[in-house]
Amino acid sequence: MQWLLVDDGSSDGTAAIVDAAAREHPWIVAIHRRDRGFRQAGTGVVEAFYAGYQAITAPWRYIVKLDGDLSFAPDYFERCIEKLESDRQLGIVGGTCSVFKGEDLVTEFPGEPQFHVRGPTKIYRRECFEAIGGLVKAPGWDTIDQMKANMLGWKTATLEDIPIVHHRSTGHAYGSWSNFTKNGLANYISGYHPFFMLLKCMKRAISRRFPKGVLESCGLFYGFARGYLTRAPRVADAALIRYVQDQQWRALSFRSSLWR
């Protein structure tokens, strides 16, 4: 129906590419934001999303948030929307973020729970998007949205049979340590229980290749602990935090949960 291409203050040739696309296709709208001068994890990407959201003029049933470093098959949206149309309880879906290793296309994050839809690609059903109150302008927004959707009775799912190619690995722009600490802070903001977080970090240290697994584990826990030390604001939804922690305790006690 409509593509809104948001140039979030790029300093390369992005602005010219976006403008050229808008001139060529009437269904493309170019939106330019000023360069804030620094990367703003979590908040920046959601502000860019809302710059596009506020410019919507077409009637819509589904809204798609895509990063700029993705490519996908011509039938990507058709296949995703077929899944949504076949199950009216699906509120948020996305393709499986994949990367090339040599000539092979492989899943970027193997072993993740199916409910978790990665931030680079999100397709929201309008009723679900409005029910969750939109996106939170903070790190962890792409966990909070699907947690709240599930709490409200919606289903969320990564579509394992529909790949989407991620051309720059997640967190590459921040550097490994900054990305790990950012994710730890995001888990804090999302309401994760400290014991669940501790076990998550231990699992990462053991399951990932040394020394990267240990570095990731330390970074995650440091970012999480920093949230407490700096008294960073958590998601302002006590019921959601209770729901998240209840689901985590259910997983730890081998009961049915989002993680199992």
pLDDT in tens, 159-191: 999 999 998 866 555 568 888 999 999 999 999
Residues near 239 by beta carbon (within 8 Å), at least 6 away in sequence? 151
Beta strand 104-107 pairing with 70-71:
unpaired
Delineate the domains of the chain, giving CATH numbers in brackets.
60-173 (3.90.550.10), 174-260 (no CATH)
pTM of the prediction? 0.91
pLDDT of residue 136: 94
| Closest by Cα among 156, 192, 186 to 170 | 186
d(CA 125, CA 131): 10
DSSP string, 107-132: ESSTT--TT---TTEEEEEHHHHHHT
CA 27/CA 162 separation, integer angstroms? 25
Residue 22 CA to residue 49 CA, distance in Å, equals 18
pLDDT tens, residue by residue, 196-212:
999 999 998 998 888 88
Per the prediction, the chain carries an average pLDDT of: 92
What is the model's pLDDT at position 170?
Answer: 63
Burial 176-211 (b: 16+ CB within 10 A, else e): eeebbbbbbbbbbbbbbbeebbeebbeebbeeeeee
For 120-165, write each residue's pLDDT tens digit.
999 999 999 999 999 999 899 999 999 999 999 999 999 999 999 9
